[in-house]
Amino acid sequence: MLIVDDNLVIAVDAEDGFRALGIDAVHIAGSVRDALDAIAAHADIRFALLDVQLGRETSEAVARELAGRGVAFAFATGYGERHVLAEAFPEVPVLQKPFSSQQLSAVLARILG
């Protein structure tokens, strides 16, 4: 799993949520560049949780790379469901921050079956 969030506290909280669901291989990236490097380095990534707004950039390039590789992902945002990438990726689930481990589990079940 890959978590892309520029807020380390939120990323670690999401990591704890993944680990509580029994997922041991969790990678954290705080920027688009770090995320793209993690995707290239870890072929085992099956799901990613992408913060929409990463400082002055968005996670759109990461979403496009994941989609091109056939890797499932969801967005996380504190800006409401109509975020900047909603039109480009209308089928991608959106978790509203703050989200619970139950909400994370539901999104994983929906995407990964």
Q: Are 44 and 19 within 8 A, CB to CB?
A: no
pTM, 2 dp: 0.92
Confidence class for position 30, pLDDT limits 50, 70, 90:
very high
Q: How far apart are CA 93 and CA 90, in angstroms?
A: 8
Q: Spell out the CATH class of 2-112.
A: alpha beta
Taking only the tens place, the pLDDT of each residue in 70-110 is 999 999 988 765 566 777 898 899 888 888 888 989 998 98
Task: Identify the pLDDT of residue 11.
Answer: 93
Taking only the tens place, the pLDDT of each residue in 34-77 is 999 999 999 889 999 999 999 899 999 999 999 999 999 999 98
Spans of all domains in the chain: 2-112
Query: Who's near 77: CB < 8 A, 6+ residues apart?
Result: 51, 52, 53, 83, 94, 95, 96, 97
Radius of gyration of the chain (CA): 12
Question: What average pLDDT does the segment 12-20 reach?
Answer: 91
